Amino acid sequence: MQQQSPRPADALAVRGLTRTYGTGPNAVRALDAIDLAFAEGSFTAVMGPSGSGKSTFLNCAAGVEQPTSGDVVVAGQDISGWSEARRTAFRRRHVGIVFQGFHLVPYLTAAQNVGLPLRLEGRRPDRQHVARLLARVGLADRAGHLPGELSGGQQQRVAVARALVAVPAVLLADEPTGALDTSSARDVLRLLRSSVDELGQTVVMVTHDPVAAAYADSVVFLVDGRVAGWMSRPTAEAVAGQLARLDDLAGAAVAS
Ligand SMILES: Nc1ncnc2c1ncn2[C@@H]1O[C@H](COP(=O)(O)OP(=O)(O)OP(=O)(O)O)[C@@H](O)[C@H]1O
């Protein structure tokens, strides 16, 4: 009999995820009953036209926002009905987040910024763990530097190290290369890719950039708060073509 290798567990799954803003005639359904699952050790890009619900999805997955209905399951735990305090505590331990604008604390050194999520949890960061992470992102010699003494690309690499420090179930990145030049962007994308390939990390990245999306294993496309398609083993050209088609679709919906 042929032996089947077990399917990896899902690091993150959402079921029937719906998020509505406002009420009555002005209500906006930013996410409309989305079902998605992200296997452990996978790298997924989330793309779609402006207003399609990408940031709302990431915020719900991170537990920053509470869904109107549906489930958000991170590392096997359904966080959707939890209080904000409980979601925040859970996020510090199980979710790493990288933002477009780095969000480093300006008066803390690179090493202190990397250790911050552990300190916020009342844990003392292990110096060697922090040093290894800074070496991984190519900044072993910048541990004592303040963010203001680092380039944008270097700051974002510190932010990636910080997002990895707690060994999270999932790393969520919101336009992580949006503020970077091409070469720094490539460094950050390679870093995310290697965290998947070498550390088995799960990464979900919102991006507008087809070149960035091509670093992922697959791409999920959102339109008007719904899943409009998947692409596996994406190339920049194929992604750009699909985005153009989806933009036309979203434009047609607005025009009608
Ligand atoms: N706090 C809010 N109040 C009201 N409507 C909101 C709020 N946040 C988002 N929306 C609406 O929800 C929809 C989805 O927004 P979201 O920011 O998730 O889209 P996006 O795909 O990330 O867009 P972009 O690519 O422009 O960042 C949009 O129509 C937006 O106007």
In a domain, 183, yes or no: yes
In a domain, 31, yes or no: yes
| Protein residue with its CA nearest to atom 17 in ligand 1 | 55
Dump pLDDT digits (tens) for 124-180.
989 999 999 999 999 999 999 999 999 999 999 999 999 999 999 999 999 999 988
Ligand 1 pocket, residues with Cβ under 6 angstroms: 21-22, 28, 30, 48, 50-56
Q: CA-CA distance, 198 to 66, in Å (whole number)?
A: 33
In a domain, 3, yes or no: no
Q: Which domain holds residue 240?
A: 10-255
CA 31 to ligand 1: nearest atom: 14
In a domain, 1, yes or no: no
Q: CA-CA distance, 41 to 60, in Å (whole number)?
A: 21
ipTM value: 0.97
Asked if residues 239 and 231 have their Cβ atoms less than 8 Å apart, the reply is yes
Q: CA-CA distance, 139 to 152, in Å (whole number)?
A: 13
Asked if residues 57 and 222 have their Cβ atoms less than 8 Å apart, the reply is yes
Dump pLDDT digits (tens) for 184-196.
999 999 999 999 9
Asked if residues 38 and 170 have their Cβ atoms less than 8 Å apart, the reply is yes
Chain centroid to Cα 141, Å, comes to 27
Kindly state the tokens that stand for 86. 């409980």
Q: What is the CATH number of the domain that holds 128?
A: 3.40.50.300
| Protein residue with its CA nearest to atom 27 in ligand 1 | 50
| Protein residue with its CA nearest to atom 12 in ligand 1 | 30
In a domain, 81, yes or no: yes
In a domain, 18, yes or no: yes
Q: CA-CA distance, 75 to 95, in Å (whole number)?
A: 9
| Protein residue with its CA nearest to atom 25 in ligand 1 | 50
Judged by phi (left if over 0) then psi (alpha if -120 to 50, else beta), residue 196 lies in alpha
Q: Which of 56, 60, 204 to mutate to test the pocket of ligand 1 (most atoms within 8 A of CB)?
A: 56
Domain count, the chain: 1
Between the CA of 52 and the centroid of ligand 1 the distance, in Å, is 7
In a domain, 57, yes or no: yes
